[in-house]
Amino acid sequence: MALSKSGSRVALVTGGIGGIGTEICLQLAQVGRTVIAVDLATRSDRIEAFRERTAACNGAIRFEPCDVGDFKACGDLITHVERNIGQVDILVNAAGITRDTSLRKMDPQQWHELIRVNLDGVFNTCRHVVDGMVTRQFGRIVNLSSVNGQTGQFGQTNYSAAKAGVHGFSMALARETARKGVTVNTVSPGYCDTPMVAAVPQEIREQIISDIPVGRLGTPGDIARAVVFLTADEADYITGANLPVNGGYFMSF
């Protein structure tokens, strides 16, 4: 069994200082994981706020800078973590951006920037952890998709394509690793009360809430609980699945 030097499994969370990522880090630390929050080095004010928010975790959570869109940087990060902290047993890809506009106005830069983070980022991190997980016969990978990858959304051809792609990627990798003790799943949040959704105009936000059967936006904690569930050692018979956490906003099977 691959354990960190402190004896607990190491979990790497990209987008780790974001609205949902921070809560995932906190909840994984609560269940005994050694957590590495990975995010852009440029967000110094938010990195400081993250450090303050996680200070009570007694060093179980630390921050490492990395641009997930950079393949080599992801490789260097994994090497650094595995040398200095421990083998990565749990990978959660929560880094994500939006570049919303209708396709008729979308320029190639808005397409490529989004795909680079939301889809290439998943490849870049998974590619660098998968060999170690397969060799050690244990791994838990959870990739954050979105309800808008399932339904499509106006102004989000880039985002919806990337998020649908994330689930296709996860199902394919799940098949490649199923006999090696490595599970790969997606969690698809609905609309959550985070900065990403706060940026949506007030009237559209109210319309969205009225369409959610549970009657409220999701919280980062709602999403983090699903991630903790799927990354448990015991969750070894769930792979290639998508777990929607959307308050009933989109139901399917």
Q: Phi and psi at residue 186, in whole multiples of 5°? A: -115, 150
Identified binder of ligand NAD from the candidate list 92, 191, 224, 228, rule CB under 6 A: 191
Residue 7 CB, nearest approach to ligand NAD (Å): 28
- Cα gap 65→192, rounded to integer Å: 25
Identified binder of ligand NAD from the candidate list 28, 36, 60, 68, rule CB under 6 A: 68
Residue 162 CB, nearest approach to ligand NAD (Å): 8
- Interaction between residue 19 and ligand NAD (CB under 6 A): yes
- Interaction between residue 73 and ligand NAD (CB under 6 A): no
Set 159, 191, 237, 249: catalytic member: 159
- Residue 8 or 118 with smaller CB distance to ligand NAD: 118
Q: Phi and psi at residue 187, in whole multiples of 5°? A: -115, 130
Name residue 45's amino acid. D
Residue 141 CB, nearest approach to ligand NAD (Å): 14
Residue nearest to ligand NAD (CB): 18
Supply the DSSP string of 11-63, one letter for each residue: EEEETTTSHHHHHHHHHHHHTT-EEEEEE-TT-HHHHHHHHHHHGGGTTSEEE
Helical (H) or strand (E) element with 242:
strand 242-245
Residue 153, CB-side half-sphere exposure with 13 Å CA sphere: 22
- Interaction between residue 226 and ligand NAD (CB under 6 A): no
Neighbours of 132 (CB within 10 A): 17
The encoded tokens of residue 92 equal 């959660």
Name residue 110's amino acid. Q
- Interaction between residue 40 and ligand NAD (CB under 6 A): yes
Catalytic, 191? Answer no
Q: What is each CA distance from 128 to 12, 61, 89, 185, in whole angstroms?
A: 12, 21, 12, 17
Q: Do residues 68 and 117 make contact, with C-beta atoms less than 8 angstroms apart?
A: yes
- Interaction between residue 144 and ligand NAD (CB under 6 A): yes
Span of 17-25, 104-112, 225-233, 235-243 interacting with ligand NAD by CB under 6 A: 17-25
- Residue 185 or 194 with smaller CB distance to ligand NAD: 194
- Interaction between residue 247 and ligand NAD (CB under 6 A): no
Identified binder of ligand NAD from the candidate list 86, 96, 244, 247, rule CB under 6 A: 96
- Interaction between residue 189 and ligand NAD (CB under 6 A): yes
Span of 5-13, 35-43, 124-132, 173-181 interacting with ligand NAD by CB under 6 A: 35-43
Find tokens 């980022």 and name the residue: 121
- Cα gap 34→95, rounded to integer Å: 19
As annotated, the active-site residues are 159
Site for ligand NAD, rule CB under 6 A: 14-15, 17-21, 39-40, 43, 67-69, 94-97, 117, 144, 146, 189, 191-192, 194-197
